Amino acid sequence: MIDYWVTLELSRMGEKERPEDLIKFLIAEVPDKEVELFIPAASFYRRDNAVTVCVLEGYAFVRGGHPAVFYFDFEHSPYVAKVLALDDRGARYLQYVPNDKIEELRARLIEQSIREIEVDDLVEITDGAYRNLKGQVVGLSPDGETAYLSIDGLVSLDTYVELPLQFVKKVDS
C-alpha cells in the first residue's frame, strides 16, 4: 500500500463545505473514482444544527500513487486553492505527507469527536442556542449519541434540552 499523501489546500468555497460533501465533490471531478481522500474534520447533526470538529482546517489529503498531473488537476476545482508543491525554477514537485502523520490526524479527530459523558456530569454547551450555558446530564439516549440536560442559570422554570454529545463538553464541578 502507498504510504504517503499529497496535500490539497482548500479554497474558501472548499472550506465552507461539509467534509462528507466535499469528498463527494472532489471525487466527482477526477477520472479515477477509486481515489482515497481524507479531510481531517467530521460533522455531527441535530435537526437543523451542525457541529464540525476539525483538527486541521483548510486542508484535504489524497493518497499517493498517481502521476503528479493527477494531483495538479485538483487545482481546476473551485474547492481547491492549490496542491502543496515545491516550486523550483519553473518545475513543481509534490510535497508528501507520510501515512503515519495522517494516522495521527485520524486519531486526533476520533479523540475530539468522542465525548465520554455520563449521567450527573456537569457540562458546558459549546454550540447552538444554549451555547456557553452549563447544565447537568440527567440522561443519555439509548444509542449514546444524545445527552438530556437540565440547564442551570435560566430565569424560568426548569429547562431541559436534548443535544448531541458533540454540542457539550464536560467541565469540572
> 53 vs 13, which has greater pLDDT?
13
**Based on the domain organization, do 81 and 40 belong to the same domain?**
yes
- Read off the pLDDT of residues 19-66 as tens digits, 9 standing for 90 and up: 999 999 999 988 777 889 999 998 877 667 677 878 899 999 999 989
C-beta atoms surrounding 120 within 10 Å: 9
Mean pLDDT confidence for 7-22: 95
Per-residue model confidence (pLDDT) at position 49: 67
**Based on the domain organization, do 50 and 132 belong to the same domain?**
no
What is the CATH number for 79? 3.30.70.940
Which pTM was predicted?
A: 0.72
- Read off the pLDDT of residues 73-118 as tens digits, 9 standing for 90 and up: 999 999 999 999 998 888 899 999 999 999 999 998 887 777 788 8
**Based on the domain organization, do 24 and 80 belong to the same domain?**
yes
Show the cell assigned to 124. 458546558
**Based on the domain organization, do 73 and 13 belong to the same domain?**
yes
Mean pLDDT confidence for 154-158: 70
**Based on the domain organization, do 33 and 59 belong to the same domain?**
yes
Last residue of a domain, one of 113, 139, 154: 113
State the residue for C-alpha cell 494531483: 71
**Based on the domain organization, do 106 and 127 belong to the same domain?**
no
Per-residue model confidence (pLDDT) at position 46: 64
Contact (Cβ atoms closer than 8 angstroms) between residue 10 and residue 59: yes
Give the range of the structural domain holding residue 85, as residue numbers without chain letter.
4-113
The CA–CA distances, whole Å, from 23 to 45, 92, 154 equal: 18, 25, 41
**Based on the domain organization, do 15 and 93 belong to the same domain?**
yes
What is the CATH number for 140? 2.30.30.30
**Based on the domain organization, do 76 and 128 belong to the same domain?**
no
